[in-house]
Each structure stands twice: as C-alpha cells, then as structure tokens.
C-alpha cells in the first residue's frame, strides 16, 4: 500500500472511483521488447478523414448534400488522397451523397473513396449499389469484437462473430467480383478492448480470404473506439499486431483513435511509432462524444518537426471556416494551430520574447540573404510561423493588463509607426496598464495610440506660441518664442549649441530648470527624457517640430 507523503495535503475524493477498473483488468496487453519508444516519425502516414461518415460526426443536424460536398471539396483541395465518403446503407442522405459524387464524376483520379458498412448482407448490398460506377473504392467492413460488445450488444460469442465476419467478407468478395478497383478494409470495432489473439485471428483470416497482395493490399484498421488507457498501452497493442500479422507486406495497418481521455493525438502518434501506416480521424477532432483524433493537429505536429505533412493547411482560417460551416460547430479558440487565440500572446514576458524573436528572425534572414518566409524558424513561444498557416502577425501580440513594455511598444510601432526608445517603454507601459486595469479589457491598437496621444501629445500648462530658431553663428543657435507659463508668460529667448539647448535656455527664462537626459528621434516622432524642476519625465512630439514638442511634452509631464 502506498502512503501519502507529508508534503502532499490532498484528501481522498468523495467520488465513487471504485466503480471503475484499470485497463489491465479489462484487456490483456502483450508487451515484449518494445521498439516504438525509440522510433522516429520521418514521413506522414496516409491520412484518411472520416468526417463524412453518417453517425460518426454525431451532429445534431447531419450535413446535407451541399454541406457534404463543400467538405469533400475541401478535403480534396487540402490534399487528402483517401477519403471516407459515407455510410451509404445508413440513410438516404448518405446513399444520395455517394451517388451524387459518383454520378457527378466528382472524385478525382488520384483520390480513393472509402465506404463504410456493417457485417450484414442486405447493408453490404446497398453499399455496393451506392458505389456502382466508381473506378476505385475501399469497402470498409466493421463489427465490434471485444467481450462486452460481443455479450451485451451483439449477443454473439467469439465463434459467432468470426462466422458473421466471414459471411460478410465472402459476400463483399462476391459483390466486388473481379473489379480491380475495389479494395477491402476491416475494423474490429473496440479493438483496444479485444483479446489480441482474436484480433490476429480475424485479421489474418480476412487477409487470406480477400487474397491480399502487395499490389492489392487489405487495410486492417484498429480503433481505440473508446479510449481506456494511457497512449503507451495503445502503442503496445498496435506494435503487437504489427509484428504478428501474417502477410504483413499485403496489409496496410491503420488506426482510428478517439479522444475520450483527451489523448487521441498522443495515441495516434505513438501508434505510428509502433508501426501504423494509416490514420483515420476528423478535421479539428470532430466526432462522436469527445471526437475522433484531430488530423489537423497530427499533420501540423509533423510539420513543426520539419516533416512534410503531405497536406496543405496554408490557409488554416479558410479550412476552419468551412469545417465550422459544414459541422455547424465552432472550433475552440485555443484549438492547436487553428484556434483564434493560439498565436496570440497577452502576457508581458511572452510578448517581450516574441517581439525580440521576430526581430532576431528578420535580422538573421537579412544577414543570410534568405527571404524571411524561407529562413529557419526559432521564435520563442511560436512553434510555427503563423504566416505559414496564412495568419498575419497582427494578432500575435495583444495588450491587456497582463502585458508589459515589450508588447505595448511592439503594437504602437506596428500600428502607429511610433518606435518608443527603450528608456521610455516602462513609463508608457505603466500608463497602459493603469488604463487596462481600470477597464478590465484588452486595449486595441487604436486605443493604445489614443493613450499615447493623451499622455504625450496633448497640451499642458506650458504652451509654446510663435517661435523660431536660427543659427546666428557657427555652433550658436538662438531660440525666440512666446511662452504661456503662468505668471512668467511672455516673450523669451535663449541660446545654445543647437535648437534644443537654445529652447531649454529660453525655458530657463520662464523659471523652468530643464535638463535633457535622453533624446531619440525616428521618422515619425521624437522623444525626450527631461529633468524638470527636479522631476524626471518623458515627452514625445510628432510632425516637423517633433524635437521641440518632445521637450515641451516632457516639461508639462514633469510639472503635473
Ligand atoms: C463506429 C461508427 O462510427 S459506427 C457509425 C455509426 N453510425 C450509425 O450508426 C448510423 C447509421 N446506422 C443506422 O442507420 C442503422 O443503425 C443501420 C441502418 C445501420 C441498422 O439499422 P437497424 O437495422 O435498425 O439496427 P439498429 O440501428 O438498431 O442496430 C443495431 C443492430 O445492429 C447490430 N449491429 C451493430 N453493429 C453491427 C455490425 N457492425 N455488423 C452487424 N450488425 C451490427 C446490433 O447487434 C443490433 O442487432 P439486433 O437488432 O439484432 O440486436
Ligand atoms: C469502426 C471503427 C472504424 C470506428 O469508427 C470506431 O471504432 O470508432
């Protein structure tokens, strides 16, 4: 019995967890010398979207033909080459959609459609009727094989399930006849709860019966119909089948993970390490209950490792919008790679790192003469370049009360072209934080500029009216002005080595002791940090007299 260490104050949960059993009491998992932990994924498996299968999407309002067609076209343009187009015996809609594709010649020559059928001869017949006229198709047979489903759902023992599968498979072979374009697939539904020897017996029997060969391979698809264990267990199950299947060169080993434990992606990746060559799933993880494994995440996980995903998600928002339209379900804003917020940083330290990373990336690309979009990517907190997914950098940094000087400066520069000098950033960031703390909201780039304007570009107690400056002798500037400065209002003059020092001298005449501590100017604005009667403040100015305005702005802020 394990004891709870003294540093862990957690208490037993009142929930009845004793009702549930660990996976090892539910299924035998043979695990010998595992090879998958040290394997690498170096190429994309064959991706097979099953979004169009009736029932599988579990939509309250199933897709109609126009929606299915839009989805199908999206899958084709994205680059999927094997696509499950329906469960034609399930409904008129699915049958009709398959016929719509066949009759309209909508399936490109390099795409193989898959149709799904249970192990019943009447439904198999309807399935073959649906694909009549297709030059290529995979007919996908399924039946649940695990003890609970055999006993509770099908009411058939192992022998009866074996006989059902055999009868169905023979019927499929008869219906396919000599058609060279028809291939077969088998799914032992609930594979992950099925005795491994039974899985091998069924799969090997079908490989023989369907006379699979390397030129006409059979697909054996091993689903985690309902997830029951950590992904390493699924990997062990897949590796066992991979290493023990007969006529392995004539079998495409496929997986179909669901996501009940939230580990569908991990299961699929570990399954590929364990020998799977094909992965079934849905875009953005739609599907029954918690969904099928998400093919977008899987493909882009490979992409982020420098592996060709063999599909194009270069405009991820267009893909997301189409899928949302067809499924009538939103994609979560935090969804990997595709969510609205996943490339956005709100917090100060992250914004700082991203801002520096983007600048470093641009510099390195320029130095090596490589276009930015081709240069190796190493920007902190951004696993992939948002531009590769069709996203602009606009949404990468957004500002609220959790933001810091880096993000504030980045946005102001990007949207208003105002490049705050490093010394000024903490002060302006404090102004922004006060405003966002007060509002409890995000500050848009427009609002940031308005805060900047209110703080630095509005008039204060000291106003500069008619003024001029000129160099009266080499290195000697004179500044002549009318200053509104309380009881010292009037005409003032000053001299200095430049216009600014001459202006400071004129301010002295109005009783203002000003030291310019720091000064910076970019194409749009000038910035000055001044000590004004002992108080230090930053100021800014824009336009042709930006430098003078910046000092005046610092004076007014110092006097506040
Ligand atoms: C894993 C997946 O994604 S499965 C896809 C889910 N999609 C759907 O289920 C939607 C489509 N399904 C349907 O429209 C219907 O279920 C049909 C047309 C296939 C069959 O309809 P019905 O004949 O009315 O049967 P029903 O829906 O009640 O299905 C349950 C019966 O099928 C049997 N059954 C379940 N799976 C299979 C299978 N793979 N092969 C053979 N029989 C099966 C059950 O044992 C049960 O038999 P029983 O009536 O003798 O007890
Ligand atoms: C039948 C297979 C392919 C399936 O959809 C599942 O088990 O979830």
| Structural contact between residues 100 and 69, judged by C-beta atoms closer than 8 angstroms | yes
Which of 118, 138, 223, 224 maximizes ligand 2 atoms within 8 Å of its Cβ, making it the mutation to test the pocket?
Answer: 223
**Pair (534, 401) in one structural domain:** no
Question: Among 425, 456, 487, where does a domain finish?
Answer: 456
- pLDDT tens-digit series, residues 277-324: 999 999 999 999 999 999 999 999 999 999 999 999 999 999 999 999
CATH of the domain at 496: 3.30.160.270
The protein residue with its alpha carbon nearest to ligand 1, atom 22, reads 90
Structure-token pair, residue 270: 């570990």
Q: Which ligand 2 atom sits nearest the alpha carbon of residue 56?
A: 5
φ, ψ for residue 97 (rounded to 5)?
-70, -40
Tokens 């290195």 sit on residue: 475
Output the pTM of the full model. Answer: 0.88
Q: Tell me, what's the ipTM?
A: 0.93
**Pair (412, 553) in one structural domain:** no
Edge-to-edge strand ranges of the sheet holding 463-473: 463-473, 476-484, 490-496
Q: Is the alpha carbon torsion for 400, 401, 403, 409 positive or negative? A: positive
Tell me how far the alpha carbon of residue 237 lies from the centroid of ligand 2, in angstroms. 16
Q: Which ligand is nearest to the CA of 54?
A: 1
**How distant, in Å, are the alpha carbons of 58, 66, 205, 386, 549 from that of 362?**
46, 44, 59, 14, 33
Query: Is 9 inside a domain boundary?
Result: no
- Alpha-carbon dihedral angle through residues 471, 475, 481, 486, given to the nearest 10 degrees: 180
Tell me how far the alpha carbon of residue 199 lies from the centroid of ligand 2, in angstroms. 14
Edge-to-edge strand ranges of the sheet holding 218-224: 46-49, 278-281, 251-257, 218-224, 182-189, 137-144, 112-118, 82-86
**Pair (352, 371) in one structural domain:** yes
CATH of the domain at 249: 3.20.20.70
Which residue range is the domain that position 380 belongs to?
348-456
The protein residue with its alpha carbon nearest to ligand 2, atom 3, reads 187
Tokens 């989805």 sit on residue: 71
Query: Is 19 inside a domain boundary?
Result: no
For the chain, what's the residue count? 560
Q: Which ligand 2 atom sits nearest the alpha carbon of residue 189?
A: 7
Q: Which ligand is nearest to the CA of 279?
A: 2
Q: Is the alpha carbon torsion for 503, 509, 512, 514 positive or negative? A: positive
Query: Is 21 inside a domain boundary?
Result: no
Query: Is 52 inside a domain boundary?
Result: yes
Query: Is 239 inside a domain boundary?
Result: yes
- pLDDT tens-digit series, residues 231-261: 999 999 999 999 999 999 999 999 999 999 9
As to burial, measured by CB atoms within 10 angstroms (0-12 exposed, 13-18 middle, 19+ buried), residue 94 is buried
Q: Which ligand is nearest to the CA of 280?
A: 2
| 54 C-beta closer than 6 A to ligand 1 | yes
Question: Among 297, 327, 357, where does a domain finish?
Answer: 327
Mean pLDDT, the chain, whole residue set = 95
Banded pLDDT at 1 (limits 50, 70, 90)? low
Q: At what angle do helices 348-368 and 405-416 cross, to 10 degrees?
A: 50
| 62 C-beta closer than 6 A to ligand 1 | no
Tell me how far the alpha carbon of residue 120 lies from the centroid of ligand 1, in angstroms. 9
Please give the average per-residue pLDDT across 474-490, as a whole number: 94
| Structural contact between residues 141 and 165, judged by C-beta atoms closer than 8 angstroms | yes
Which of 62, 87, 160 maximizes ligand 1 atoms within 8 Å of its Cβ, making it the mutation to test the pocket?
Answer: 87
Cα–Cα distance, 468 to 463 (Å, whole number)? 14
| 291 C-beta closer than 6 A to ligand 1 | no
- pLDDT tens-digit series, residues 253-287: 999 999 999 999 999 999 999 999 999 999 999 99
What is the β-pairing status of strands 278-281 and 251-257?
parallel
**Pair (264, 129) in one structural domain:** yes
**Pair (73, 155) in one structural domain:** yes
Which of 50, 146, 154 maximizes ligand 1 atoms within 8 Å of its Cβ, making it the mutation to test the pocket?
Answer: 154
Tell me how far the alpha carbon of residue 255 lies from the centroid of ligand 2, in angstroms. 9
Question: Among 437, 456, 475, where does a domain finish?
Answer: 456
**Pair (259, 157) in one structural domain:** yes
- Reported in sequence order, the residue ranges of 72-190 that DSSP labels E, i.e. its strands, are 82-86, 112-118, 137-144, 182-189
| 189 C-beta closer than 6 A to ligand 1 | yes
Residues having CB within 6 Å of any atom of ligand 2: 142, 187, 189, 221, 223, 225, 256, 258
Query: Is 544 inside a domain boundary?
Result: yes
| Structural contact between residues 246 and 204, judged by C-beta atoms closer than 8 angstroms | yes
CATH of the domain at 440: 1.10.287.1400
**How distant, in Å, are the alpha carbons of 353, 364, 551 from that of 520?**
24, 25, 11
- pLDDT tens-digit series, residues 369-420: 999 999 999 999 999 999 999 998 778 888 888 888 988 998 999 899 999 9
Query: Is 416 inside a domain boundary?
Result: yes
Q: Which ligand 2 atom sits nearest the alpha carbon of residue 224?
A: 7
Edge-to-edge strand ranges of the sheet holding 535-542: 514-521, 525-532, 535-542
| Structural contact between residues 225 and 238, judged by C-beta atoms closer than 8 angstroms | no
**Pair (111, 175) in one structural domain:** yes
Cα–Cα distance, 197 to 141 (Å, whole number)? 20
| 282 C-beta closer than 6 A to ligand 1 | no
**Pair (416, 353) in one structural domain:** yes
**Pair (190, 78) in one structural domain:** yes
**Pair (177, 284) in one structural domain:** yes
Query: Is 552 inside a domain boundary?
Result: yes
Count: domains in the chain: 3
Q: Which ligand 2 atom sits nearest the alpha carbon of residue 226?
A: 8
**Pair (410, 483) in one structural domain:** no
What is the β-pairing status of strands 490-496 and 476-484?
antiparallel
Report pLDDT for 3. Answer: 77
**Pair (203, 310) in one structural domain:** yes
Residue numbers belonging to the annotated binding site for Mg(2+): 54, 256, 258, 292
């Amino acid at each position: 019995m394990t004891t709870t260490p003294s540093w862990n104050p957690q208490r037993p949960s009142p929930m009845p967890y004793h009702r549930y059993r660990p996976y090892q009491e539910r299924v035998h998992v043979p695990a010998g010398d595992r090879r998958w932990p040290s394997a690498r994924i170096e190429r994309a498996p064959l991706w097979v979207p099953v979004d169009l299968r009736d029932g599988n999407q579990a939509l309250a309002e199933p897709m109609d033909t126009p929606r299915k067609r839009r989805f199908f076209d999206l899958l084709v343009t994205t680059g999927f080459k094997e696509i499950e187009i329906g469960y034609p015996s399930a409904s008129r809609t699915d049958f009709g959609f398959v016929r719509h594709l066949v009759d309209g010649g909508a399936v490109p020559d390099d795409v193989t459609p898959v149709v799904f059928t249970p192990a019943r001869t009447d439904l198999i017949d309807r399935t073959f009727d649906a694909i009549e006229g297709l030059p290529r198709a995979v007919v996908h047979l399924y039946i649940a094989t695990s003890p609970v489903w055999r006993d509770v759902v099908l009411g058939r023992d192992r022998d009866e399930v074996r006989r059902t599968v055999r009868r169905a498979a023979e019927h499929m072979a008869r219906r396919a006849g000599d058609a060279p374009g028809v291939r077969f697939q088998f799914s032992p539904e609930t594979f992950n709860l099925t005795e491994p020897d039974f899985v091998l017996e069924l799969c090997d029997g079908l490989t023989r019966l369907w006379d699979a060969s390397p030129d006409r391979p059979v697909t054996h698809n091993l689903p985690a119909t309902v997830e029951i264990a950590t992904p390493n267990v699924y990997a062990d199950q897949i590796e066992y089948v991979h290493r023990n299947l007969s006529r392995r060169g004539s079998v495409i080993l496929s997986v179909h993970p669901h996501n009940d434990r939230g580990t569908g992606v991990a299961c699929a990746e570990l399954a590929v390490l364990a020998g799977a060559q094909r992965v079934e799933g849905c875009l953005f993880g739609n599907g029954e209950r918690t969904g099928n494994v998400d093919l977008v995440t899987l493909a882009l996980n490979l992409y982020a490792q420098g592996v060709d995903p063999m599909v194009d998600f270069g405009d991820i928002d267009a893909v997301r919008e189409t899928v949302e339209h067809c499924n009538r379900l939103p994609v979560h804003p935090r969804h990997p790679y595709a969510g609205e917020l996943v490339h956005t940083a709100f917090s100060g330290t992250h914004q700082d790192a991203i801002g520096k990373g983007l600048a470093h990336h641009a510099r390195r690309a320029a130095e090596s003469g490589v276009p930015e979009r081709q240069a190796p990517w190493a920007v902190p907190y951004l696993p992939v370049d948002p531009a590769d997914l069709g996203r602009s950098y606009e949404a990468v940094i957004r500002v609220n009360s959790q933001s810091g000087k880096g993000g504030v400066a980045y946005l102001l520069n990007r949207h208003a072209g105002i490049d705050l000098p490093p010394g000024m950033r903490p002060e302006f960031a404090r102004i922004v934080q006060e405003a966002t703390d007060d509002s409890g909201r995000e500050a848009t780039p427009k609002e940031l500029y308005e805060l900047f304007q209110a703080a630095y570009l509005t008039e204060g107690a000291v106003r500069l009216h008619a003024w001029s400056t000129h160099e009266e002798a080499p290195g000697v500037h004179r500044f002549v002005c009318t200053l509104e400065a309380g009881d010292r209002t009037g005409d003032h003059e000053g001299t200095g080595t430049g216009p600014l020092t001459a202006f400071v001298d004129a301010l002295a005449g109005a009783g203002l002791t000003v030291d310019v501590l720091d000064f910076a100017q970019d194409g749009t604005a000038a910035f000055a940090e001044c000590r004004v009667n002992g108080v230090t403040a930053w100021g800014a100015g824009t336009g042709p007299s930006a430098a003078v305005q910046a000092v005046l702005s610092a004076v007014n802020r110092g006097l506040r």
